[in-house]
Chain A
Amino acid sequence: MAKLTIADLKKIKEKVHAEMSLRDGERRVKITVHMGTCGIASGAREVLDTLLQEIAEAKINDIVVTTSGCMGLCSREPLVTVEILNQDPIKYEYMNPNKIRQVFKRHVLDGEIQLPFVLARGAEITK
């Protein structure tokens, strides 16, 4: 297997650069995964990792993923907040890799809120 080098990184940078200049409307969606201690203990890392792989597979660049601290809702972790531009943030509870895949495909890509998993609708209260 060929070893990954800085030269490979340069190539990736150039490719990404070429694509970046071709598009305008960035940051359509922001997704926050809450990474407090109990979030991590209940699987928030796997949820975020799954989400990153879904985004990579879908080959879209208008989604920003970030993490934030605890929200004081340990018993409902893992929690994920989806904010689509010009829409109310939606907070999903009890996420796992399968549920986040569904949220990603149906809500983030197709715009259909996944009601059974919704904890709350409205603004973020923490960092």
Chain B
Amino acid sequence: MLELASHILDIAENSVRAGASLIEIDIDEDTANDSLSIEIIDNGRGMKQEEMEKVLDPFYTTKTVRRFGLGIPLLADAARRAGGHFKLESQEGKGTTVKATFGLSHMDRQPMGNIISTLIVLIAGNSDVDFFLKHRHNDRRSELDTRIIRKEIEDVPINHPEILKYIRGVLEEGFSEIKPEA
């Protein structure tokens, strides 16, 4: 993966496949601590302890169409290469949290890339799932919660082109307000 935003899309797709109805994505850029943290929290089916232990092994997957799973090992590796850490927490029946941290100024940290495109693609492609983005850059914050939008638009589908355009606009505004450095 060339961008962290692609990793985020990939990890959130795992959450979708695990049956999550709500996926929270927290991005935290902290200049003073030279840290970037990315957390993806879902309320999907979760994993058993023994499953979790195997997940960091690229030769583990529960998919039947391919014999290995790459998504999680790739992100764990990206974090480690950029002076950060990777943490996986999961409870069967409750949900899963994936957290990766990076040295913000580390030479080997991938760029964030297009996080707006990642969100739009997640929302458009999984219209029955809610997404909650919390993006912080030092003391500036921006949020997008599809539950609030859904309540407002009633029976208009969230993936209607006009609604997606609105969401894209809100994300772009948030972005220009917090001025991310990653």
Contact = CB atoms under 8 A, between A and B. Distances in A.
Contacts of A37: 10, 69-71, 74
Contact of B9 (A4, A10, A45): A45
Interface string B4-25: 0010011001000100000000
Contacts of A13: 152-154, 156
A56 interface: yes
A22 interface: no
A52 B163 contact: no
A40 B125 contact: no
Nearest to B12: A35
A17 B118 CA distance: 27
Interface residues of B, number: 40
B152 A66 contact: no
A80 B34 CA distance: 40
A1 to B, nearest CB: 8
A38 B10 CA distance: 9
B166 A8 contact: yes
A65 B1 CA distance: 24
Contacts, number: 100
Given A52-B121, A72-B65, 19 more contacts: A4-B169, A6-B148, A6-B152, A9-B152, A12-B163, A16-B153, A37-B10, A37-B69, A46-B117, A48-B121, A49-B117, A49-B121, A52-B120, A56-B161, A56-B165, A59-B161, A61-B160, A65-B159, A70-B66
27 contacts: A1-B173, A9-B153, A12-B162, A13-B152, A15-B162, A16-B153, A20-B156, A35-B9, A37-B71, A37-B74, A40-B6, A45-B6, A45-B9, A45-B114, A46-B117, A48-B124, A56-B164, A65-B125, A65-B159, A66-B125, A66-B126, A66-B127, A67-B126, A69-B17, A69-B63, A70-B63, A71-B65
Interface of A: 1, 3-4, 6, 8-10, 12-13, 15-17, 20, 33, 35-38, 40-41, 45-46, 48-49, 52, 55-56, 59, 61, 64-67, 69-72, 74, 126
Give the top 5 A-B pairs by smallest Cβ distance, nearest first.
A67-B125, A72-B65, A56-B161, A37-B71, A37-B70
